[in-house]
Amino acid sequence: METSSLGQERKIVLHTGDISGNYSCDTFSGSTIQTSAFVAILPSSKSARVAAQRLKKELVEKITDPVGKIIGQNSSSSGTSILDSSTYQLPGPDICSHLLIWVGNDQTAEKEALELLDEWLAKGKNYIVLPVFPNIPQIHTVLPKSISHLNATKWSSSFYGVVSAIFSLIGLSPDQLRVFISYRQGETRHLAEQLFDALSRLRYDVFLDRFKIPLAVNFQEYLTQELADKAMIIVLESKTFYESEWTVYEVSFATKNRLGLMALQMPGAKPDSNSKKYVTGISEQQRIKLDITDFKTTDETVDLEVDTLDLTEDALDRILQRITTEHHRAHAFRLDYLTESVLSALRLAGTSEPELRNDGLIYVQPKAASGSNQQYVIAVTTRPFDFPDVHKTHTRLPSPTGQPPQFAIGILFGPPAFWIEANKARFKWLTGISKIYAFDEGELSSMADKLAGGTLY
């Protein structure tokens, strides 16, 4: 994706110590970068530098995948501090994420690295540290005392789980990674549960109907609410997957509402395009075709339809990496689409030129003819609104000197919410006491007209 005007002000700055002891800097910009961030990767010792470079490589690959372009890339000398963000015209840490990734191993940290860690921590509570270690026992014995209270993340053969954690911490992906598993219980229940367990360990919020639907609720209403709440759907394509009205409904909903889609096609299962219930929307690029070698088997003949086989470690690892990539893509493209839609609607309605700032919020005022100087602050979300969205919008409202906090009016904009009645009532109460307005895609034109006319107050 080419860099658009949306990304000109917002950027990610990545500082990394290389294996020679120098520091390099990469700067990224693109329309799917919602907020600016400064990230420093600090190896704890010379022996940890190779792992730090591997992490940087995977991080750069995932950043540039949906974002599309590195707009600046330069190397600095070893005299430049890896912790210095002052030359990049970034906002303060209350708006722009400042993250230090401490890459450790089973060796004691070196004095120089510990001094840099202490320097970072002395900057204040908004300067975050993420400890990253290989999958070794007793990490606490090699964690520096100053960060021994922090929860560390681990890597094994790949850093995809670490990259997901970094993206959440700097705002490149939602705080919670959300996926929906669509499957037929009689054919792929075992695989669905294996994925549920593996993704849950990676801190995903995973919907699997067997575990998540409460008793005595309207099944379809609850299912639709959960679908709308997720960034992507993982489809387990078995032989009769497209013969179920529920699984067909789930794929159709994802396609209609621009959710991410990824399919795992079981051995011997091919989508039947002649079936009356077959739905399009999953391309070959979104499909992983599994075969017998991807499952743990014995020498005995195994009937895969029995659904009792586990994926091999290599196959599971490959699938989890792909899910991580597709989840980030789905979030990035949906955010870009919704943000562009809001900006276009505001311009068409005749508001002041909307400004998308470093904090990821859109600032706009009514058109001059309205006679109003009211300021509006819009937060765009990629899923139905939740409490953190209301809180973020409310706390970021600017308050000019001498003016009350309500001088600027907060607005939430996102995809349609298909809430059950109880959740509708809770959200209405929350927006009422916080004085935040909420609009979904179907109300975009109405929202833009009201902002242009200055009639929301």
pLDDT digits (tens, 9 = 90+) for 240-252: 898 899 999 999 9
Crossing angle of helices 421-434 and 387-395, in 10° steps, is 10
DSSP 152: P
pLDDT of residue 6: 40
Q: From CA 444, how far away is CA 426, in angstroms rounded?
A: 23
Q: Which of 22-26, 79-83, 200-204, 418-422 is predicted with the least confidence, judged by mean pLDDT? A: 79-83
Residues of the chain with CATH 3.40.50.10140: 177-326
Q: From CA 167, how far away is CA 174, in angstroms rounded?
A: 8
Averaged pLDDT, 104-113: 91
What is the residue-averaged pLDDT of the chain? 84
pLDDT of residue 273: 57
Show the tokens assigned to 109.
């940290």
Higher pLDDT, 152 or 3: 152
Q: From CA 413, how far away is CA 345, in angstroms rounded?
A: 12
Show the tokens assigned to 239.
């032989």
Give pLDDT tens digits for 223-269.
Answer: 888 899 899 999 999 988 988 999 999 999 999 998 999 999 998 88
Residues in the chain: 457
Q: From CA 375, how far away is CA 410, in angstroms rounded?
A: 9
Task: Read off the pLDDT band of 21 (50, 70, 90).
Answer: low
Instruction: Give just the sign of the alpha carbon dihedral 62, 66, 68, 69.
Output: negative
Express as a percent the part of the chain with pLDDT over 70: 86
Q: Which of 299-313, 344-358, 433-447 is predicted with the least confidence, judged by mean pLDDT? A: 299-313
pLDDT of residue 82: 80
Q: From CA 193, how far away is CA 204, in angstroms rounded?
A: 14
The answer to whether residues 36 and 358 touch, using CB atoms and an 8 Å cutoff, is yes
Q: From CA 117, how far away is CA 373, in angstroms rounded?
A: 46
pLDDT of residue 278: 54
Is 60 exceeded by the pLDDT of residue 69? no
Is 80 exceeded by the pLDDT of residue 442? yes
Q: Tell me, what amino acid is at 96?
A: C
Higher pLDDT, 20 or 44: 44
Show the tokens assigned to 376.
């509006």
Task: State the residue for tokens 């979300």.
Answer: 381
Is 60 exceeded by the pLDDT of residue 274? no
Query: Distance from CA of residue 310 to its chain's centroid?
Result: 28
Task: Read off the pLDDT band of 393 (50, 70, 90).
Answer: confident
Is 90 exceeded by the pLDDT of residue 215? no
Give pLDDT tens digits for 394-422.
Answer: 777 765 544 444 468 999 999 987 877 77
pLDDT of residue 352: 94
Residue 151: name the closest of 134, 167, 131 by CA. Answer: 131
Task: State the residue for tokens 């919008």.
Answer: 393
Rounded to 5°, angle at Cα 23 from 18 and 29: 105
Contacts of 256 by beta carbon, 8 Å cutoff, 6+ apart: none
Q: Which of 20-24, 125-129, 357-361 is predicted with the least confidence, judged by mean pLDDT? A: 20-24
Phi-psi region of 307 (alpha: psi -120 to 50; beta: other; left: phi over 0): left
Q: From CA 20, how far away is CA 78, in angstroms rounded?
A: 9
Tally helices (H) and strands (E) across the chain.
Answer: 11, 17
Averaged pLDDT, 48-59: 92
Q: Which of 69-78, 126-135, 303-312, 377-386 is predicted with the least confidence, judged by mean pLDDT? A: 69-78
Phi-psi region of 268 (alpha: psi -120 to 50; beta: other; left: phi over 0): left
Show the tokens assigned to 276.
């009356």
Q: Is 289 exposed, middle or buried (0-12, 13-18, 19+ CB in 10 A)?
A: middle
Task: Read off the pLDDT band of 5 (50, 70, 90).
Answer: very low
Residue 205: phi, psi to the nearest 5? -90, 105
Averaged pLDDT, 211-224: 78
Q: Tell me, what amino acid is at 325?
A: T
Q: How far is CA 1 from CA 31, 69, 261, 427, in A?
A: 8, 7, 19, 35
Give pLDDT tens digits for 156-200.
Answer: 878 988 998 898 888 888 767 899 999 999 899 999 999 999 999
Domain 177-326 matching CATH 3.40.50.300: the answer reads: no
pLDDT of residue 8: 45
pTM: 0.80
Task: Read off the pLDDT band of 77 (50, 70, 90).
Answer: very low
Neighbours of 30 (CB within 10 A): 25
